[in-house]
Structure formats: structure tokens, C-alpha cells
Chain A
Amino acid sequence: MTARGFATNIRLGLIASVVVCCFGVLAARLVQLHVLDREHYLAQIQNSRHDIVSVIARRGDIYDTRRDILATSQTEITLAVDPWAVSKKIEFQRTPAQRERLAVKEREKRARLAVELGMQVSDLEAFFTPAWRDVPVAQDTRDEAADGRVRIEWKKLREGVSEETFSRIEALHVTGLTADRSYRRVYPHNELAAHLIGFLNKEGAASGGVESFADLYLSGHDGWREVERDARRTELAQFRNREVSPSDGWGVVLSIDTAIQHIIEQELAYIVSSFKPGKATIIVSDARSGFLLALANYPTFNLNAYGDAPLEVQRNIAATDLIEPGSTFKIVAASGALNEGLVTPATRFDCTLATILYQGRERKFMRDDHHFDHPLAVSEIISHSSNNGAAQLAMRLGDRRFYDYARAFGFGERTGFPIGHEEPGLLADPAKWSVPDITRIPAGYSVAATPLQVHYAMSTIASGGSLMRPQLIRQILDAQGEVVYSFKPAARRVVIAPATAESMAAMLQKVASEEGTAKVAAIPGFEVAGKTGTAQKLIGGHYSEHNHVGSFVGFFPASRPRVVITVVVDDGHPADGRIAYGATVAAPSFRKIAEQLIQYLDIKPVTSPLQAPVGGKLLAHNQGARP
């Protein structure tokens, strides 16, 4: 008999039928899943697996001119607690012993968490105690029982947890603890340059300073990606279908230098402690480029605690608050008259006159503080700060030309300073002047300017006659730190000829000399040129005898200027009861700042390089002789 083997017709038919049936069942199931119930399952998948995750772009940093960080973005973690998570986990345990063990273990973890957070364990336990919240019964849809109360499943535990602390907390694996990561703006130098930097509020909106002005560069663009998650809500990276990468913000390099900023803020603190002013401002800029090196105001605030600072403290008073510039304004009349060739530094004026006939009308001069026994040369008008002489210089120019020069120096118009809401100041058109205005305005009264305008007016002389644009941003960096754009010095206009600027600088040197009003500002060998200003404050419609704005604006060395410094002390009160003249409250600070800048910026003396030390601290080569 022939062996029929395994593959009989019946068996083969049976196996084939089974295989076909299996395939048939599979096919049927596939049809059910993919055709009949497709929409249902797709919706389920869509709900449970698909997610769109936004990827937050990192805001760019703000740097000083040496690339020290002034503002940066750091992640911070907000910890929250689901108080019910622990009890749910315990319920899942099979035996009471297991439940007890888990409860003890969780308590131990929480005790360690309390240590990490610096809290009392009892306070922390209160967060982990399951609690309910009452809601209207109609809205009670969050749990099975519509009993008018729902479980509180999210309690904020702590904000602002650092990455380092969080990594330790994460290692504890505390049940019910959740964490959200977000970016926070950090200002490592606290108060330093607060009015220039500005801040980012809790909503992430830029407020004031460079943060607001350069927001377009700093903010970047958030990205997003479409992801799928598994049952544990873990992202399935292989199903990242669509993705738009975030574009991090660009960095902004400022022209300010933290060291110089610190120097002037220290000096401002000294002014505040010595003279208790209402307000004070110090500005330092590069004489040649007009770039700001430092700017500080009093009062100021801590950028990391901006919420504690009233709005008026957050104002950049150097750009927003108006002062009567006082005698610092005299540079306008003198420069104008010199530039027009109407006078020379040696031209003399009788400054003892009480009145003068001008344009057919008698004008009464403002009283000078000193009596002059001889006609004053233009250089003496500046060095002695004669109101009378300044008025006569303006009269030589005439109303319109004097006004035009004042405008050309930047008074009555915004300087273009990019930060804050800058005020244009007040400088009336000559058509609107009253009779005494031609005697008052040249002396810096009946005109209002911001400290920044006064500073850049003096800067015009330091720069050789060009009114520079105040600039604060030096470079823009991309996310990799490469320079994208560099800002160049920009002149707004040429105001006076270089020769006039040179003459003015020479005359202004005499202010900081034995014969001038601010000999205290002089630094031997460094040709300090400047102008004091003292203006009575207008209080209740009258000029006060006790409230003054004292200022000193100057630059050095006069023959090749490096820095321009402005010190404005508003309503200072010297301890000895003296009037807060610019020479008293501002010029000494100018000198102190200048002396430090000489060392920091390595400014070389112009005259007498071999100078004997005072106090005998150092003995060095000195032509073979001990000083």
C-alpha cells in the first residue's frame, strides 16, 4: 500500500479552510476597525495620543559693553501638589501592611522635601491633605458624584524653584508632586542701571528700558510640534509629524559699562546721603561718539523686585523730568555769539548794568551773585557765570538767532534717546517771549530741559561742534552670539564750527580753575572743562530761595575730550545750611567720578606728566629725585 502521507486532500482542505477562516476573521476585524468604526477610533486616538506642544523661545540676553550679563532668562520651576494622588496610590495596595509601609515611605519623602524647600513638615503636610471644594451642583461634573463638591487636585506649593534644587527634589520621587517649567527674567546686578534695562513683568510683557525698546530683537518666536503620546503620556518621539523649531531671541549689547555705572551709582548714593535731594541724575557719555557709558537716577529700584517700586520711581528722570538748566545754558549764547563772529573770547561787556535798551524797550537784567569791578571778557562771563553777560551775548545774537542756536543745541526737542518717554522740554518761540525773557532765557531760566538735553548740549562742544545722537545699544547678537548689527555713532547736526568748539572748551576750562565758579572740579593735568548751574526751583508760582537745582556739566581733557559727565542734584540740602549751588552739590562729585574714570579708562594727562604724589604713598622714578 502506498503511504498517503500527511497531505491528504481532506487534511489539506481542512488546513486551508482554517487558514482562510483566520484570514477572513482578521480581514473582518480589520474592516471593522478601519472602515466601519474608523471615525470612532480616530477620534479616540486624536484625543488620547495626539498633542500639540508649544516650544518656548528663550529671550535674548542684555549685555554691557564688556559682555557682562545685565539681563538673562532662566528657567524656574513651579511646584504643585495633587493631594489625592497619595491616597489613590495607597488604596491600590493589597494589604493593610503594604498600605502602611507606603504611607510611611511617602511621609519620609515629604519630610525630605520640606527640608529642600525650607518649610516646616507640618506646613507641607497641609498641602498633601486631601481636600474638597464646593461648587454649584449643576457644575459638579468632575467626579462621579454630583454632590456639589469636587476634589482639589492642584495646589500651588512653591514658585521660583531653581534647576539645582528641583533636580534634588525630582530624585525624591514624591507622589502627587507636579512641576511646571517656565522662563523667568533675571537681573544679576539688581539696581544697577535699572532705568536703562527695564524689566519683564509676570505676564512676560516688557516694561520700560531696553527690555521694551529692543523687545523685537529680544523676544524671539515660539515654536511648536505635533506629537503622539502613549498611555503613560510619554511622548512617542518617532511620531513627531510636524515641527516648527523655536527661534531664540537675539542678544543686545549696550554701550554702558557696569564698572562706570557702579562708580556713578556709588557717587549718587553719596549725594543722597550728603544732600538728601528729591531727585538726582548722573550721566556719563563718550565725548566722541555720543554713546552712553552710564546713566543713573535717584530714586531707583531693584529690577528683581520691580513690584515693590512705585511707578514714579521707575521713571527715567534723566529723560522725562524737566529742570530749569540755570547757568549751564549760558554755553548757548556764548557759542552762538562766537560762532557768528560777533564776539571773540576777549570781547568785553559791562556786566554791572541794571538795565539795557533792547529792541526799543528797556530790559532789566537778572541780578548777578557777584559784583564785577571791570568789564568782563566773554571768557570771564563764562567762568564767573554772569547772568548779565549771558543776556548781553544773546542780545548780540538777537532773539531769533539765539533761539535758533538753542534749538540747534537740542533744547526744545527730543534727543532721540530710545528709552522711556522722553520729554521735548520747553523753549518758547521768540514770538511768544515776554519782555524779560531775553534776559532770563540766556541764563537758563524760563526754559526747561531734561538732564539728557543739558548733557548732550555740552557734549556738542566736546565733540567739536556736532550734536550727537544719544545711543545706548552698541550691537545686536544672534542666538549664537555672532554680531548681526553694529550701531555707529551718529551726529544729529553740526551746531558750531570746530574752532568755536575749541574756543568754548578753552573758556570752559576756566570755570574749573582758581578764577572760576567750580575750582573744586579741577584735576591738575587733565584740563577739566565744564559749567556749573544753579537754578531756583519754581514752587507755587514763585522762585524759591531754599530749593535749587544744582548741576555741573563738563568734559575732559578739554583739548582731546574723552568723557562728558553731568551731575544734576534736584533740591539738595547741604548739611551746613548752604545753598545747593552746583559748585557745592555737583562739582565735587564730578571730580570724584572723573578721577576714577582717569584710572579706569586710562586717560592720560595732557599737561605736566611728572607730578608729585600727594601723601607720599608711592615713590617711583622721578628723574632720580625723591618727591
Chain B
Amino acid sequence: MNTRDNRAFATQIFVSALLMLGVGGGLGFSIVDLRQRISVSANNARILDQKTAEAGRRLSELGGSVAAEQSPEVLQRRNQALALGLGLPRESQVVRVGVSAGERLAAKRNAEIFQSEHGLVSMPVHFNLGGASR
């Protein structure tokens, strides 16, 4: 029996086994690492999902709060509380003007040019607070 051949064969087997273990182990670790990375990525995606959902929820809540604050009833209450006196003008307070707004403004700023052309006289708007006379 050729003992050298046997030893060489055994050595080859041993080396191959070690190689297989190494490759197998490496492959295993790679797979584990890959799965870990997938897991981390999926988890990050889940967390992002949660954050998006949370942002959406907060947005809805904020939207609802803004809508409530812009409610005509609330605005009117604030208007009264802050004594702002804001509101739609009454028809009796409105003076309707028959000429175009452009011409009016032009006449107001350049009365001397437009006066002769359109026969308009510029007159500034006065607003008497609470109807008080000056």
C-alpha cells in the first residue's frame, strides 16, 4: 500500500473539507448578513411608513383645527372680542360709481391731464370713523 498516496488523498480531503467549511461558513454568514440587511431595510421602511402615517395624522388634526379656527362663527367671535369692526358693508353704505375703475384711478392721480378729456374731477375718499363729523 502506498502510504504517501493515502496521506496525499487524506490531506486533499482535509483541505477540501476545510475549504468547504470556509466557503459554506462564508456563504452562511453572507446569507445571514444579507437577511439582516433585508431585515434592517424592511424595518427602516416600516418606521418610515409609521412616520408618514403619523405626519398624515397630524396633518389631518391640524387641518381640522385650522378649519375650526376659520369657521365664520369663530372669526366673528374674534372680530367682536378684538373690536376689529370687520364685516361686509351694508348696501346703504355703498356708493356705486358709473365710470371704470382704471379711469377713476388715472383721474385721481393725473387729474390735470384727464380732467379736460373726461370731465372728471378727482375727489379723495374720506372715511369718517363712526360717522363723526370733523
Name A residues whose Cβ lies closer than 8 Å to a Cβ of B: 5, 7, 9, 12, 15-16, 19, 58, 68-70, 72-75, 162-164, 186, 188-190, 192, 235-238, 240, 258-259, 261-262, 523, 525, 595-596, 598-600, 605, 609-624, 626-627
Contacts and interface: CB of A to CB of B under 8 A. Distances in A.
Interface in B34-80: 35, 38-39, 41-43, 45-46, 54, 56-58, 60-61, 63-65, 67-68, 70-73, 76
Given A595-B90, A616-B131, 19 more contacts: A7-B10, A7-B14, A9-B7, A9-B10, A12-B10, A15-B14, A74-B61, A188-B65, A189-B73, A192-B72, A237-B43, A598-B91, A599-B89, A611-B96, A615-B92, A618-B93, A618-B95, A620-B125, A621-B97
A259 B94 contact: no
Contact of B123 (A12, A600, A619): A619
B6 interface: yes
A192 B38 CA distance: 52
Contacts of A262: 72-73, 76
Contact of A190 (B46, B71, B88, B121): B71
Contact of A621 (B60, B93, B123): B123
B128 interface: yes
B63 A72 contact: yes
A164 B54 CA distance: 11
A186 B67 CA distance: 10
A72 B71 contact: no
Contacts of B110: none
B46 A235 contact: yes
28 contacts: A5-B7, A7-B10, A12-B10, A12-B14, A68-B67, A70-B67, A188-B64, A188-B67, A189-B67, A237-B46, A258-B72, A523-B91, A525-B96, A595-B90, A599-B94, A610-B97, A611-B96, A614-B92, A617-B93, A617-B127, A618-B95, A618-B126, A621-B104, A621-B122, A621-B123, A622-B95, A624-B121, A626-B123
Contacts of A19: 17
Interface residues of B, number: 53
B43 A73 contact: no
Contacts of A15: 14
B8 to A, nearest CB: 9
B30 interface: no
Contacts of B54: 163
Contact of A605 (B42, B43, B96, B123): B96
